[in-house]
Amino acid sequence: MARKKTPMQGPVYYTTYQVAKFLGVSLPTVVNWVNSGLLRAHRTPGGHRRIAHNDVIAFARTNDYPIAAELTASGSSRKKVLVVDDERDFSDLVREYLRMKGDLEVEVADSGFQAGFTVARFKPDLILMDLMMPDMDGFEVHRTLRDDPETRHIPVVACTAYRDQEVDRRLRDEPFDGFIEKPLQLDALLALIRDRLGLDAA
């Protein structure tokens, strides 16, 4: 079994065998990932490989492996952020920055419709919402979240590259919990997210 995390301990680590079971692959596959540098691992003084919980989660998301319930249950207490944007390069950049620099757990939805499903499963603490998406714009998603008692408490930070008088009017009519304009300054975005989540500055 993996070590249980307590306030006095560091991160949770898994054996290669456990990771293979979590991701539904063979043990040699995990060993090959580690040996090729695709999956980061540490070695114990006895020479055994151990893989950090956060590294397993990041690897699974990057490579589109389903995340086992055991991984979610034994995860860290990091705050969770959902990035909703139809520009995948942008959302991937933001996701990696927030993970690395903000120590946040981050998922991505590339449409307003997908955002609804992801919110229900991921249960984010904050949502970064692009306003201009082709299928269901950020304003409509925001209204849907606010109309649902299960999601109305989630802070939603709006972002867009297309700011004009009409966008400003709609932002006033449907107040979000923050606004940041593209192209983003990532450090300013992280500071805004930390403030809305009540986190201390790094």
From CA 99, how far away is CA 42, in angstroms rounded?
A: 20
- Is the pLDDT higher at 81 or at 134? 81
Query: For residue range 22-49, what is the model confidence (pLDDT) as tens digits?
Result: 888 888 999 999 999 999 888 877 777 8
Mean pLDDT of the chain: 84
- Is the pLDDT higher at 70 or at 19? 19
- What CATH class does 80-197 carry? alpha beta
Residue 97 has pLDDT above 90, yes or no: yes
Q: Is the pTM of this model over 0.75?
A: no
User: What pLDDT does 159 receive?
Assistant: 92
In the chain, the percentage of residues whose pLDDT exceeds 70 is 88
Domains of the chain, residue spans: 13-73, 80-197
**CB-CB neighbours of 70 under 10 Å:** 13
Q: Tell me the pLDDT band of 152, cut-offs 50, 70 and 90.
A: confident
What CATH number belongs to 13-73? 1.10.1660.10
Q: Tell me the pLDDT band of 5, cut-offs 50, 70 and 90.
A: very low
Task: Tell me whether the CATH fold assigned to 13-73 matches the one assigned to 80-197.
Answer: no
User: What pLDDT does 77 receive?
Assistant: 67
From CA 177, how far away is CA 166, in angstroms rounded?
A: 19
- Is the pLDDT higher at 75 or at 70? 70
Question: How many CA atoms lie less than 13 Å away from 85 in the CB half-sphere?
Answer: 24
β pairing state of 156-160 and 126-130: parallel
Q: Closest Cα to residue 119, out of 136, 99, 134?
A: 136
Cβ(4)–Cβ(12) below 8 Å: yes
User: What pLDDT does 7 receive?
Assistant: 37
In the chain, the percentage of residues whose pLDDT exceeds 90 is 31
User: What pLDDT does 6 receive?
Assistant: 37
User: What pLDDT does 11 receive?
Assistant: 53
* DSSP states of the chain: -PPPP-TTS---EE-HHHHHHHHT--HHHHHHHHHTTSS--EE-TTS-EEEEHHHHHHHHHHTTPPPPHHHHHT-----EEEEE-S-HHHHHHHHHHHHHHH--EEEEESSHHHHHHHHHHH--SEEEEES--SSS-HHHHHHHHHHSTTTTTS-EEEEES---HHHHHHHHHS--S-EEESSP-HHHHHHHHHHHHTPPP-
Residue 76 has pLDDT above 80, yes or no: no
User: What pLDDT does 202 receive?
Assistant: 54
